[in-house]
């Protein structure tokens, strides 16, 4: 047991292959920002978030959408994670457009 676990935090997580698959993590990461109160800071703005299907990128998409931005999320291979991100209705029905990218 490490110091983080002894304080009640989640266990350390590893994914041997990158990019990682968030849907395979247990426990699932928290990204919803339930305590955050939006203030409309991004109303009328548009954002392109790379890696928006999971992890920090997903959290950015969620919070930007809750602030009123239209959000496009680019990702590589994590289609299942991207679909889960899009299914959520963060603030507006049109706030998320996942776009799969390819490496060249």
Backbone angles phi, psi at 65, to 5 degrees: -65, -40
Residue 50 pLDDT more than 80? yes
Model confidence, pTM: 0.62
| Domain residue ranges in the chain | 42-104
pLDDT exceeds 50 at position 93: no
């Amino acid at each position: 047991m490490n110091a983080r676990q002894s304080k009640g935090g989640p266990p350390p997580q590893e994914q041997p292959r990158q990019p990682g698959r968030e849907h395979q993590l247990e426990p699932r990461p928290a990204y919803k920002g339930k305590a955050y109160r939006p203030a409309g800071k991004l109303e009328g703005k548009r954002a392109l978030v790379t890696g928006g299907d999971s992890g920090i990128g997903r959290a950015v998409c969620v919070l930007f959408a809750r602030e009123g931005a239209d959000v496009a999320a680019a990702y590589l291979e994590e289609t299942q994670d991207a679909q889960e991100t899009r299914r959520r209705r963060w603030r507006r029905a049109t706030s998320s457009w996942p776009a799969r990218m390819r490496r060249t």
